[in-house]
Structure 1
Amino acid sequence: MSSVEVAYSIVGAGPPLYMVHGIGSRKATWEALIKDLRTHFTCVSFDLRGHGESPVPPVPYSLDELVEDLEALRQSLGHQRIHVVGHSLGGQIGPAYARTHPKSVETVALLSTAAGRTSEDSAKVKGVVAMMREKGVKPLLKTLINRWFTDEFVGPNFPGCSGSSCQAGI
């Protein structure tokens, strides 16, 4: 499968910083951080395929294809070398992008990503990905929030969590 046109946002001025969210999230995840970074960087946040405003492909896709989506976006925006920050799944895309396109990368920063997953962990992630492909992100948001956060955090921070309001908060 070739790269897809992803939904993106550009804010600020300075060296380009591409912000890659995690599974079940969207470009809005980065908004609070962008407020602090926009005076130093051109912040490019985007929705991975199948997330937020980006299209859901009709067939399964791989990490390599997510990497090529990032490369297609970089090329379309005309940036030569970029900084990449990735959270969770984005933290897997960042290093994979740097290995595949080393001449296009200044730095890579990883936030809360995984290395050395057990086979049980990998099976859980693959199960979530399969459900997202079949049903989309929205039906899984409550499950993901309950997995990622404690009850004490969820209650006051995600009241009545549902649909896009839930997704924007992650």
Structure 2
Amino acid sequence: MQLTINRIDTRYVLDNEGGGPWLVFIHQLAGDLSIWDQMAGYFRNDFTVLRYDLRGHGETTVSPDSFTIDDLADDLAQLLEQLGAPSAHVVGLSIGGMVAQKFAINHAAKVESLTVVGAPAFIPEDARPTFAQRAASVRENGTASIVDATLERWLTPEFRKAHPEVTEPIGETIARTPTESFARAAEAVSRFDARDKLASVDKRTLVIAGQHDTGTPHAASKVVADTVPGARFELLNAAHLTPVEESQRFSGLLGNFLRGSS
């Protein structure tokens, strides 16, 4: 299904078998909504589950201009409004976790709870050139050139070896991401900083990090939990893609959190 959001044709999938509260999943850089397929299966009987492709990812069209993480948060607000959702539980992974933070800050009335997965509160000054370099490299060599290095950061060697049937489609999604979409999103990530407003978030918040995540070290994720009042922090035995690598533990944590049982 598609809707035009801020002049961008946006793909989304809605699972509402349970007709319950809205639950939104936001994917990672160079990913698409399919990363959440398993989680949608877990939660569709109790929630109205929304997954969508960020600008220039999956089947959502490429943004005509550069953009910020705030712009991506505004996209989500417009999507929810067009779908008639007054508010939602928001779960974001990686760049999706950055979008989720900005959404909770800029559109607080639309947030029931916030879950940030594998995302920092800000990109340090000395790390910003790394994203600029990735953008430049992809513009020159294409997204297929970063598949191997990205998978090494996203999944532990043990998981990649044991589960090629999971790993290979993720790599194919990276390679299919349009060059300019990746570059503009990476540049948006490089400018991300939510620290000045995170302490104002008054929604129930869960932060999940991977113990072996080299791209977003768990100490960087913990800053989010330490800044949002009352936030809970959980560390899983995984690299960056905790919902994939530790799916049962992840779904259990998220389910208990969403239902308010722990």
TM-score range, shorter chain: 0.7 to 0.9
Which deviations, in whole Å up to 9, do the C-alpha atoms of 1:109-165 show, x marking residues without a partner?
A: 111111344333332234334555777655433331122223332233236835249
- The amino acid that maps onto 1:82 is A
- Structure 2 matches for 1:1-170, cutoff 5 A? 2=6, 4-12=8-16, 13-129=19-135, 137-158=143-164, 161=168, 162-164=171-173
Which of structures 1 and 2 has the larger relative contact order (alpha carbons within 8 angstroms, sep 6+)? 1
Q: Measure the CA separation in 2 of the matches of 1:135 and 1:57.
A: 20
SS at match of 1:7: strand
Contact 2:56 2:63 (8 Å CA) reproduced: yes
SS at match of 1:19: strand
- The amino acid that maps onto 2:64 is P
SS at match of 2:9: coil
Contact 1:3 1:66 (8 Å CA) reproduced: no
- The amino acid that maps onto 1:6 is T
Cα distance 1:133–1:166, how it changes in 2: closer, same or farther (>3 A)?
closer
- The amino acid that maps onto 2:81 is Q
Contact 2:26 2:96 (8 Å CA) reproduced: yes
SS at match of 1:6: strand
Q: 1:89: how far off?
A: 0.9
Number of corresponding residues:
168
Q: 1:7: how far off?
A: 0.6
Contact 1:3 1:68 (8 Å CA) reproduced: no
Which deviations, in whole Å up to 9, do the C-alpha atoms of 1:52-81 show, x marking residues without a partner?
A: 111112332111211111011111101111
Q: Measure the CA separation in 2 of the matches of 1:15 and 1:82.
A: 7
How many percent of aligned residue pairs carry the same amino acid?
Answer: 27
Structure 1: tracts of 5 or more residues without a match: none
CA RMSD of aligned residues (A): 2.7
Q: Which has the larger radius of gyration?
A: 2
Q: Measure the CA separation in 2 of the matches of 1:153 and 1:166.
A: 20
Q: 1:88: how far off?
A: 1.0
Q: Measure the CA separation in 2 of the matches of 1:154 and 1:9.
A: 27
